Amino acid sequence: MGLKIGILLPKSDMFPALGLNLLNGINLSLKINASKLDPQFIVEGVGNAADDSILKIIDKLILQESIDLLIGFFSISRLKELTPKINSYKIPFIHIDLGGSILKKECKSPNMLHLSLGLCQSAYAAGMYAAKNFGNKGFAASSFYDGGYQLTESFNRGFKKNGGTIENYYVSILDYKSDTYEKMLKDIEETQPDIMFVVFSYNEGKKVFDILSNSNFNGKIPIVAIPVMTDEIINKEDYSIEKVYSMASWSFDDTTIQMQNFIKEYYLAYEESPNIMGLLGYESGQVLLESCTAEGKINHKLSEVLKNKVINSPRGKISFNAMNESQTESFKLRTFNFNKKRYHNTVINEFDTSFTEELYSEFESIPFTGWMNPYICT
């Protein structure tokens, strides 16, 4: 009998195809990398992935369905309750997250791997870069929603590390559709910053780009955005906005063979370009394959199996660090530019990521804040 894999998929109103994108990525990875492995997927919806029903669903998958492996996309804020359960059942678990908050010691288990985009770590790196290259006087603006994670604090700490200071903060109102952002523009005018850090996503991100592009600051103050705000899948019209940068562990405009082949194969299979969920799904499949023996069995201690392995993913070489979290070799500094058809995140520089393991201890005492649902899944 083949492997039985339980997959937890949340619901997202903003990204209704989120679950399908993840599954598509997993299936493509298995198809390309190992035609002989044909696991049975048992898919469970977990709503907004924020309440205790997740634990009941996991019990059902383990006790009734007898799964061999669990793959799930949900917030690390739920891992405090989940980790003891995973340890007791000795079920290998690939936890998927975008990295909106920093992992804590309570999240570590020999049976669990954390596959992440490392958004907080790259925000910290962006802060260090901004202070060194753009100036020490900063202004931060965030969504009511996106501000509920640790992205702003990560940037702030990286900014401070190289001598920067965030002089003023702006948080948008709950109903962003009715927000004119006049206060944000007024605060920028009063602050006169050297650099702006902006934390918005999806439609609110597009609205903020439009507001800033029509302001007196366009092209005068460098903007560092979180990478999901400059997502080229979402941004289709030209805002005529200038000097926008982002730091990320990936770029779909990366010219590497791995990334270009992944995009090509994904498009051939599904007639659409991949997004970050398809990317994480593909990497989940790669992790699954690396975890299997020649006989198709899985050692429940995933951290031991992957300890010294390197995965050649579309993002480059990925390994798992001391917290069992995925770590790329470099962060990519990207510029946000429009080429008459669509936006691109063009890689202009790369930075070593070895410093990021130090952030676990630095953030250990900071409690999880904000929303219980995974970032970004609303």
pLDDT by position in tens, the chain (length 378): 578 999 998 888 778 888 999 999 999 999 988 767 788 999 998 877 777 788 889 999 999 999 999 999 888 888 888 899 899 999 999 999 999 999 999 999 999 999 999 999 999 999 999 999 999 999 999 999 888 899 999 999 999 999 999 999 999 998 888 989 999 999 999 999 999 999 998 889 999 999 999 999 999 999 999 999 998 788 889 999 999 999 999 999 999 999 999 999 999 999 999 999 999 999 999 999 999 887 778 888 999 999 989 999 999 999 999 999 999 999 999 999 998 888 999 999 999 999 999 999 999 998 877 787 888 766
Give the strand order in the sheet containing 93-97.
40-45, 4-9, 69-73, 93-97, 112-116
Q: Are residues 67 and 140 in the same domain?
A: no
Residue 112's domain comprises 4-117+255-328
Q: Are 33 and 51 in the same domain?
A: yes
Torsion angles phi and psi, residue 231, rounded to 5: -60, 120
Q: Are residues 169 and 58 in the same domain?
A: no
Residue 369 domain flag: no
Answer whether residue 238 is part of any domain: yes
Q: For the chain, what is the domain count?
A: 2
Q: Does 141 share its domain with 234?
A: yes
**Shared domain check, 128 and 12:** no
86-104 exposure pattern, b = at least 16 Cβ within 10 A, e = fewer: beebebbbbbbbbbbbbbb
Q: Are residues 231 and 262 in the same domain?
A: no
Tokens of 330: 């470099």
Edge-first strand order for the sheet with 311-313 is 311-313, 316-320, 326-328
Q: Are residues 139 and 103 in the same domain?
A: no
Claim to verify: residue 178 and residue 323 sit in the same structural domain: no
Same domain (yes/no): 239, 161: yes
Whole-prediction pTM value? 0.95
Same domain, 144 and 38: no
Same-domain pairing of 223 and 353: yes
| CATH code for position 280 | 3.40.50.2300
